[in-house]
Amino acid sequence: MSYDFDLFVIGAGSGGIATARRAAEYGARVGIAEYDRLGGTCVNRGCVPKKLMVYASHFPDVFEEAQGYGWSAVQSSLNWETMITAVNNEVDRLNGIYQKMLDGSKVELFRSHAKFVDPHTIDLGDQKVTADKVLIAVGGKPFLPNILGIEHAITSDDIFHLKEQPKRMVILGGGYIGCEFACILNGMGTEVTQIIRGDRILRGFDEDIRSEIQQGMINHGINIIKGVQLIAIEKSEHGVVVSVGAGDTADTVIADAVSLAAVGRKPNTHNLGLENTGVKCRDGAVLVDEYSHTFEENIYAVGDCTNKINLTPVAINEGRAFADTVFGGIPRVMSYENVPTAVFTTPEAATVGLTEAEAKEKYGDDLKIFYTRFRPMYYTLAGKDEKTMMKLIVHASSDKVIGAHMVGPSAAEIVQGVAIALKTGATKANFDATVGIHPSSAEEFVTMRSPVR
């Protein structure tokens, strides 16, 4: 049977675009549909604009710390509109680059919502197209809890378009998105209250990372309310009132005009017409095998819509592995072992490999834990008691380093290099034999000699 396309991609986020271009390099006729902006969450509502705001939030501390090095005091204030405009202009620039990349790869772009009519037919609103293979790469979307007054809350998608800086912000949720925006807004001068259900933020991360970041956030002035359930949000003459409860008690927190709901994200698989195919989902996530293959013979899925590891580089790697396998004749699968990740809070964190709890579950007591906590040299003249924490988890029998965790300045930049070592199977002896760069914080990863447990 003849089809309009060899591959049709639904969703032009980072994973979808990377897949489309790689398949086109192999000579495939590729179409891609996107009803929103190119680049998906990362470029438009996540990694890129968020990281730019992280940079913006650090300048007040830098101005203050410079005085310890002899610089005169700086009186400066944030123009929120200028900052937000600059951030969104950069996003616009990147959208243009993605368009040029698709054009250069001869991938045909359809600016419309795509929906399955059957496994090989896609409804694009004003037309239908057919494809031999179809890739679902629709990403995820913020989840809003079902509570009274949730319409008065915004999500992380909306924060990049606020016209004015909120003086007071209530953030709901203790995941990495909520924590990052709590730190961003706090650094910019907003009074931040963060509400979490448990005792600590960042569930799923190593316990030392969780406790170190949480205490650091508190030290920087963020009010974290622990162990409570969200009851309701309502408008008042003073702003937005968020009601929370713990046991039989209740309390209220007031924000200016909005609260930020950051309680998680869900796969964006609604209204795709999946019922017209053999594709199966669990809690909205598309079920796939190791080759990103769904239960429908010709349909595949990558990225956040599969709810495996929801990171942009993972989606890109999954998509390229699919294209290499199906169109390049080079069968390969995405490895989910030792995938590094970072949390751009203040202080920053990065991690790769197993947490201590995961290592204990897998190896029992056959572990050595190396740990250090110190004040980086930068803060000595600045007169601040900021700390950096580093931790290595070693499988004792093999001497293999199976986890590395860091909290402190440039954690992401440092752990990226450490991740290469873990990916290649480095041992603690390899770390010990590596000459450190002195003076640097990074050298601590190769100078820890005595395990703490």
Which residues are part of the catalytic machinery? 438
Write the DSSP symbol of residue 236.
Answer: E
Structural Rg of the chain based on CA atoms: 24
CA dist 113 and 33 (Å) reads 7
Please tell me the distance from the alpha carbon of residue 26 to that of residue 19, in angstroms, as a whole number: 11
Q: Do 426 and 414 form a contact (C-beta atoms < 8 A)?
A: no
Rounded CA gap, 86 and 82, in Å?
A: 6
Lookup: tokens for 290: 């190791």
The whole-angstrom separation of Cα 118 and Cα 450 is 61
Encoding tokens for residue 385?
């008691």
The total number of residues written for the chain in this structure: 453
Number of helices (H), then strands (E), belonging to the chain: the values are 11, 24
Q: With b meaning 16 or more CB within 10 Å and e meaning fewer, what string describes 98-131?
A: beeebeebebbbbeeebbbeebbbbbbeeeebbb
- Residue 46, H or E segment: none
Q: At what angle do helices 80-104 and 47-66 cross, to 10 degrees?
A: 140
Distance of CA 323 to the CA centre of its chain: 24
DSSP single-letter state for residue 72:
P
Amino acid letter at 241? V
Both tokens of 208, joined, read 């030392």
Structure-block tokens of residue 27 = 């000579």
Q: Is the distance from CB of 402 to CB of 391 less than 8 angstroms?
A: no
d(CA 352, CA 341): 7
Cα–Cα distance between 210 and 222 in angstroms, integer? 15
Answer yes or no: are the C-beta atoms of 114 and 122 closer than 8 Å: yes
Q: Which two three-digit tokens encode residue 86?
A: 């600059």
